[in-house]
Structure 1
């Protein structure tokens, strides 16, 4: 599934029922600034998938976010390989999103 740009992401945040957010930053980063969603640090993601502890279904559209878009790109690959076909990465991460929304 195609990645998502900050502009489209900002519009989707107003429609939370249509997406699932997965923030793969570390807990401290998440508590410093977040836009909601489930916080699972990237290093813990494979364990939660293997233990089937994620509250996502294969039908859900999952948007994976991090600071710059690099960890979330890796998380997208992990989720896709685990059978979640509707995963999108926030290009440029939350930094790009913050620059957009602070204008």
Structure 2
């Protein structure tokens, strides 16, 4: 029982540390803030292709988080990168990957695509 309590405390500590570290390099934007500048940035949908085809933000490129490391050459380091996924967890993971590779202007849509009310495109 004592081991379980220690394990939970350690996991909680690691989670809190990651959360605050992520806040230092990833800015989470409301939909209104996101809409202000996403057209001047690189808009990346990190969901899988079948999700992207069912609907995505107008102007977005689909680079799934599962392919991100292999497709980094498609993303410029000198321009802001606006990321989104369905709910926020995959875009946060994508931001972590990009941050480790030297990208600094990283933004995430709060709530992800499921909270988006702007224009979308479907196939």
TM-score by length of 2: 0.68
Candidates 61, 75, 90, aligned match of 1:38: 61
Deviations 1:17-51 (A, max 9, x none): x21101000101101111122101111101222xx
Higher helix proportion (structure 1 or 2): 2
Q: Residue in 1 aligned with 2:111?
A: 92
8 Å contact kept, 1:10–1:97 = no
Deviations 1:3-22 (A, max 9, x none): 21112113335xx1x21101
- Note the residue ranges of structure 1 that are not aligned, 5 or more in a row: none
Q: How far apart, CA to CA, are the structure 2 residues paired with 1:58 and 1:11?
A: 20
Q: Hey, which bits of structure 1, 4+ residues long, moved more than 3 A?
A: none
- Note the residue ranges of structure 2 that are not aligned, 5 or more in a row: 1-24
- Deviation of 1:89 after TM superposition, in Å, equals 1.3
TM-score by length of 1: 0.80
Q: How far apart, CA to CA, are the structure 2 residues paired with 1:83 and 1:59?
A: 10
RMSD: 1.7
Aligned length: 93
